[in-house]
Amino acid sequence: MGSTAWLAGCASKKQEAASSTGATSTPSKPAADPGAVTGTVKPGGRVVLSAPSQSRNWKEVRLQAARRLVAANPDITYMGKPPDLLRAIPVLTFELNADGTIRRVEVMRYPSQDRETVNIAVESMRRAAPFGNVSHLPKPWRFNETFLFNNQHKFKPMTLDQL
């Protein structure tokens, strides 16, 4: 939070909170923005995503990947604040090809319990790919994602909490 917002006091915090949550107790859809991902549900429940946009840097690649991850897996993701106690926290590294498809997946951290969440995370990310052309970005073409699993086996990409 910038110093200007901090100096404005509590009223600004309440106003920001109300506008970001839609002033309701249920999560609202984020406002449309250029990096937003849309998807169409096909017969059989498969989600087809819109084409990925061109990212200018690795931060944008990670953000687009996280948004695509949620859009491609609506039944097994959650938004909002993660619970205080998480079921599992796998950390994966995704190496990409120049076109943004997944080349290789490496598990950086296996959860101590419920190791099946690693497979859920990998398959979910594969459904969200490709992530846009990365050939113009510096190598290595890879990024990490941390998956925050709750007790219902639903996850949230940690990248979305770091905005």
Q: Which residues form the domain of 102?
A: 35-162
Are β-strands 142-149 and 102-109 bridged in parallel, bridged antiparallel, or unpaired? unpaired
138 occurs within a structural domain = yes
What digits encode the pLDDT tens for the residues 60-114?
999 999 999 999 999 999 999 999 999 999 999 999 999 999 999 999 999 999 9
15 occurs within a structural domain = no
114 occurs within a structural domain = yes
How many domains is the chain built from?
1
Nearest CA-CA partner of 65 in 107, 37, 105: 37
Distances (CA, A) of 58 to 62, 122, 128, 138: 6, 20, 17, 9
47 occurs within a structural domain = yes
Which token pair is 21?
């949550």
| pLDDT in the model for residue 38 | 62
Q: Please classify residue 14 by burial: count the beta carbons closer than 10 Å to its beta carbon, then call 0-12 exposed, 13-18 middle and 19+ buried.
A: exposed
3 occurs within a structural domain = no
| pLDDT in the model for residue 6 | 36
148 occurs within a structural domain = yes
Task: Return all residues near 13 (Cβ < 8 A) that are at least 6 apart.
Answer: 5
Which residue would you say has higher pLDDT here, 5 or 144? 144
88 occurs within a structural domain = yes
CA distance 87 to 83: 9
103 occurs within a structural domain = yes
Q: Return phi, psi of residue 128, to 5°.
A: -85, -20
Q: Please report which confidence band the pLDDT of residue 49 belongs to, taking 50, 70 and 90 as the band edges.
A: confident
Residues forming a β-bridge with 91: 109, 146
Q: Please report which confidence band the pLDDT of residue 35 belongs to, taking 50, 70 and 90 as the band edges.
A: low
| pLDDT in the model for residue 39 | 62
CA distance 17 to 23: 8
Kindly report the pTM of this predicted structure: 0.73
